[in-house]
Chain A
Amino acid sequence: DADVTQTPRNRITKTGKRIMLECSQTKGHDRMYWYRQDPGLGLRLIYYSFDVKDINKGEISDGYSVSRQAQAKFSLSLESAIPNQTALYFCATSDWGTDQPQHFGDGTRLSIL
């Protein structure tokens, strides 16, 4: 979905480095989400945010932090990267209300050596 942009698309880094993944959206949605995808495990929720002042932990938040800088921007940080955080990371947005679909960016492929 071109309305949800993730940068970078690919990143290779070393253990112990601090990494920030960025997400911006032009859909005007208040709700934003970060997921990680591992082979055979589907998507798992890391953090989600319903507005600029709202941050919530998801299923697997340990080792990650987020910042909601504006309605349109939601970044994910790995303070000290470790190899088992190697994965595909997705940002998504959704509108308010029930029965809302989520709209995904094209992902960031992160490799930690």
Chain B
Amino acid sequence: SQQGEEDPQALSIQEGENATMNCSYKTSINNLQWYRQNSGRGLVHLILIRSNEREKHSGRLRVTLDTSKKSSSLLITASRAADTASYFCATDHGGATNKLIFGTGTLLAVQP
């Protein structure tokens, strides 16, 4: 399986702290995407970073990509209780299919 790995599997922090989660993958990618899943809901796209990009920002989110290490990280700054969710990375390995391979997810709990 090409499925990516994320760590940590679970993370608990206090409101206002930063949360960092990591994703590793096995083969070369076209892009890497991060998604959020609230309990009982579908996944929501957060941010996409292309293979030729090293860092990207969107609001309180910062994503980095290191293609030499086949890894990415998602940083959520100044976390809020509403950020409590599972976070998944997904890799697009190119071709015309736009198929994604999802990681196993990080469960983030932000304590108020």
Q: Is the pair B104, A42 in contact by a Cβ cutoff of 8 Å?
A: yes
Determine the distance from Cα of A100 to Cα of B97 in the docked complex, in whole angstroms: 10
Q: Which of A41, A94, A101, A107 contacts B104 (CB 8 A)?
A: A41
Q: With an 8 A cutoff between CB atoms, is A68 at the interface?
A: no
Determine the distance from Cα of A113 to Cα of B89 in the docked complex, in whole angstroms: 32
B29 CB, nearest partner CB in chain A, Å? 11
| Chain B interface bracket (under 10, 10 to 19, 20 to 34, 35 or more) | 20 to 34
Q: With an 8 A cutoff between CB atoms, is B82 at the interface?
A: no
Q: Is the pair B104, A104 in contact by a Cβ cutoff of 8 Å?
A: no
Quick one: CB contact mask for A1-43 with B, threshold 8 Å, 1 for yes? 1001000000000000000000000000001010100001111
Q: Which of B33, B88, B99 contacts A58 (CB 8 A)?
A: B99
Determine the distance from Cα of A105 to Cα of B101 in the docked complex, in whole angstroms: 18
Q: Is the pair B50, A43 in contact by a Cβ cutoff of 8 Å?
A: no
Q: With an 8 A cutoff between CB atoms, is A62 at the interface?
A: no
Q: With an 8 A cutoff between CB atoms, is B48 at the interface?
A: yes
Quick one: CB contact mask for B37-53 with A, threshold 8 Å, 1 for yes? 00011111100101000
Q: Is the pair B3, A42 in contact by a Cβ cutoff of 8 Å?
A: yes
Q: Which residues of B contact A101 (CB under 8 A)?
A: 33, 45, 48
Determine the distance from Cα of A48 to Cα of B95 in the docked complex, in whole angstroms: 14
From B6, which residue of chain A is reached at the shortest CB distance?
A: A42
Q: Which residues of B contact A104 (CB under 8 A)?
A: 35, 42-44
**A43-B88, A102-B45 known; A31 vs B103 contact (CB < 8 Å):** no
Q: Is the pair B45, A106 in contact by a Cβ cutoff of 8 Å?
A: no
Q: With an 8 A cutoff between CB atoms, is B98 at the interface?
A: yes
Determine the distance from Cα of A59 to Cα of B3 in the docked complex, in whole angstroms: 10
Q: Is the pair B42, A99 in contact by a Cβ cutoff of 8 Å?
A: no
Determine the distance from Cα of A43 to Cα of B90 in the docked complex, in whole angstroms: 9
CB proximity to A under 8 Å, residues B70-112:
88, 90, 92, 97-105
A-B contact pairs, 8 of them (CB 8 A): A35-B102, A42-B102, A42-B105, A90-B43, A92-B43, A98-B92, A100-B98, A102-B33
